[in-house]
Amino acid sequence: MALFAFSVAPLGAGESVTEQVAKAVKIVRDSGLPNRTDAMFTTIEGEWDECMDVIKRASEAVGEGGARVSLVIKADIRPGHTGELEGKVARVDAKLAGQTD
């Protein structure tokens, strides 16, 4: 299992890339994988091949029409661990609240 945080955007598309990014986020959300989107990245959780397929399809959607695409990926590959999309945040929140493991 792994977490993949990625950012994909067309280059040379002007000031706003909202429409193109929305296409990518729709692909992620339709994938059925656990995911979260924030202002800078979308994070998905799953097996390597299924996540890379989603990232590839999202990148292709952003590049429709022959646009140049920028893709940044960061991965946390941790076999045998699931639920880390929520778990990592919960552990930090617990620490901040003064709780211990």
Q: Domain map of the chain by residue range?
A: 2-96
Class of domain 2-96: alpha beta
Return the H-helix or E-strand segment holding 10.
strand 2-11
pLDDT score at 99: 73
Pairing of strands 35-37, 68-77: unpaired
Question: Which of these, 34, 60, 38, lies nearest to 47 by C-alpha position?
Answer: 34
**How many of the other CB atoms lie within 10 Å of CB of 9?**
18
pLDDT digits (tens, 9 = 90+) for 53-85: 999 999 999 998 667 899 999 999 999 999 999
For 74, which DSSP code?
E
pTM of the model as a whole: 0.87
Tokens of 62: 């952003």
Measured in residues, the chain has a length of 101
